[in-house]
Chain A
Amino acid sequence: MRRRGWYALLLLPFIGTLIPPFYNHASPSLFGIPFFYWYQLAWVLVTAGLLGIVVLMTRDGRV
């Protein structure tokens, strides 16, 4: 049951990306790219990282 707790991390991408008013603005921009765009691209990487953590921490030996 303790291991299953790691799956809660997977809720973060939903909260981070599905509420547009949080990120629907221009600044701060990055390399000229408005916040709206680079913020969502950053979530792709963050989500991959979170998935990596969950996959590693919940391995059950069945390969």
Chain B
Amino acid sequence: MSSAALILGVLVTGVTALGFFAARWGGANLRDLEQWALGGRSFGTIVSWFLLGGDLYTAYTFVAVPALVYGVGALGFFAVPYATIAYPIALIVLSKFWSIARHRGYVTTADFVRDRYNDRGLEIAIALTGVVAALPYIALQLVGMRAVFSQFSTLGAMHALPALTVAFVLLAAYTYTSGLRAPAMIAFVKDTLIYVTVIAAVTVIPARLGGWGHIFSLSAAALAARPKPSSIFLGPPQYFTYATMAFGSALSLFIYPHSITSVLAARSREVIRRNAALLPIYSLLLGLLALLGYCALAAGISTKDTTSVVPQLFARFFPNWFVGVADAAIAIGALVPAAIMSIGAANLFASNVFREFSPQRSQVETVIAKRLTLAICAVALLFIFFVPVPYAIDFQLLGGALMLQIFPAFVLGLWTRWFHPKALLAGWACGLLASCAMAYAGGFSANYSLHAFGGTLTGFIALYSLALNLAVSAVLTLLLKRGTT
């Protein structure tokens, strides 16, 4: 066994032990939903910083963003403005939501929606959206882990599946026993490994490739020579696509169930506010990782499976033992969000679909949520066995478009009671249908070319369908209010 495989194995086993041990952290009664799912709402600034960083920067960040830059050039860099403007939005929306949620005992976004609009249908709609959007996101974590494990198997990706299954079954087990405390504890290890790896990568790799100037000129040439050429700069028709992808993604980031779960685990409103200013440090890492896509181009790495670009780059430039550390960073970087995503989705299903929100919670929700975590992990695992990788990434982007459809009911609802719940439900349904129709028409691409006013505007599906959703919600609210007064 190579030293890389040994170190990867030791680190993954170590965090598994940590995950089970986390059940003892704070000596809490884990039959209580707030303890199991939200760590007793007790996390301070530092724990929350590691947890949120571990939660928001997923295998998608470490594997898919560099892969996108490697594949399409400048357009893939949209993730950087996305991860920048997400934080002003987070500061405003989340500190408001945190205060209301703490005061009223909410565990999910659907709890809030139920309490505000008193509409069971809208509660179920909001909850199911979160569950459905979380599934492909969890599956993508598995895609990231598979990219790592398949490095160790000369026979290809299929032989990584047993290792992947074992790691994922263990993840489901410690999430079941320890709840949110497991990923919170593991996040310390994950984030430390990620920082060490990224700093090593940007120190070692560009120097070995002859400096950034050389990397960019080689990348420009490589992208231009592709059968479908692209560039290290945007073409003017891409401006709108780039901006809408960044803005649409930023709007949806913090309404995902996994983000909400980690946010509500914070001890105080001030913890959330401080973290809005401290978390962008991770976005800098994301940007540096994105540039590794160009390093891979400059290094002449040629592969059809773009998700393996970063692991291949590590294997080429790092000593063998450090390849183990770097690959463990990616694998554990996938486990932490996968655990939180399954907890967040399970909370929604248990609290808002099986039962309806009530301020007096029983321990029944906890039992249901814990079992559902296992079920959700199982579904995500099936996803990876049966859905080919490129489609999995498209499903994740479509999931983001679906997720954004709860924006009017949830985010606008934090400030106004003006909207009628039935109008919001109709707007939500129109937004979902429009997202699916545009995705289908565009061959499951994240962007749709709108032909209007004699021109073509290619933009992120999520924003087009959100605009429709808002319009339907507003017009129907006006009509329904006129009808009742």
Contacts and interface: CB of A to CB of B under 8 A. Distances in A.
Interface stretch (B108-116, B240-248, B341-349): B240-248
A17 B85 contact: yes
A55 B213 CA distance: 38
Size bin of chain B's contact surface: 35 or more
A48 B74 CA distance: 23
B407 interface: no
Contacts of A25: 233
B77 interface: yes
Interface string B315-332: 000000000000000000
B177 interface: no
Interface in B400-417: none
A10 B212 contact: no
A51 B270 contact: no
Contacts of A44: 80, 83-84, 280, 283-284, 287
A47 B85 contact: yes
Contacts of A52: 277
Size bin of chain A's contact surface: 20 to 34
A56 B238 CA distance: 37
B213 A17 contact: no
Contacts of B276: 51, 55
B422 interface: no
A33 B216 contact: yes
Contacts of A62: 268-270
B242 A20 contact: yes
Interface centre among A13, A21, A44 (most CB of B within 10 A): A44
Contacts of A33: 212, 216, 291
A14 B242 CA distance: 13
A54 B91 contact: yes
Nearest to A7: B92
B443 interface: no
Contacts of B277: 48, 51-52, 54-55
Given A25-B233, A55-B276, A55-B277, A10 B84 contact: no
B284 A10 contact: no
B84 A17 contact: yes
Interface centre among B238, B277, B281, B291 (most CB of A within 10 A): B277
B85 A55 contact: no
Given A48-B277, A51-B280, A63-B268, A20 B239 contact: yes
A32 interface: yes
Contacts of B211: 31-32
Nearest to A29: B213
Contacts of A18: 81, 85, 243, 246-247
Nearest to A9: B88
Contacts of B238: 20
Given A24-B239, A52-B277, A62-B269, A40 B87 contact: no
B216 A40 contact: no
A1 to B, nearest CB: 16
B273 interface: yes
Interface in B370-416: none
Contacts of A47: 84-85, 87-88, 280
Contacts of B288: 41
Contact of B80 (A26, A41, A55): A41
Interface in B87-132: 87-88, 91-92
Contacts of B246: 17-18
B284 A41 contact: yes
Given A55-B276, A55-B277, A43 B81 contact: yes
Interface string A3-39: 0000100100110011111001110010111101100
Given A25-B233, A62-B269, A51 B91 contact: yes
Contacts of B92: 7, 10
A23 to B, nearest CB: 10
B216 A48 contact: no
B270 to A, nearest CB: 5
Contact of B88 (A20, A31, A51, A63): A51
B81 A17 contact: yes
Interface of A: 7, 10, 13-14, 17-21, 24-26, 29, 31-34, 36-37, 40-41, 43-45, 47-48, 50-52, 54-55, 59, 62-63
22 contacts: A17-B84, A17-B246, A18-B85, A21-B236, A21-B239, A26-B233, A31-B212, A33-B212, A33-B216, A34-B216, A37-B291, A40-B84, A43-B81, A44-B83, A45-B284, A47-B87, A48-B87, A51-B88, A51-B91, A54-B91, A54-B277, A63-B268
Interface of B: 74, 77, 80-81, 83-85, 87-88, 91-92, 211-216, 232-234, 236, 238-239, 242-243, 246-247, 268-270, 273-274, 276-278, 280-281, 283-284, 287-288, 291
Given A17-B84, A18-B85, A21-B236, 11 more contacts: A19-B239, A20-B239, A24-B74, A31-B211, A40-B287, A47-B84, A47-B88, A51-B87, A51-B91, A51-B276, A52-B277
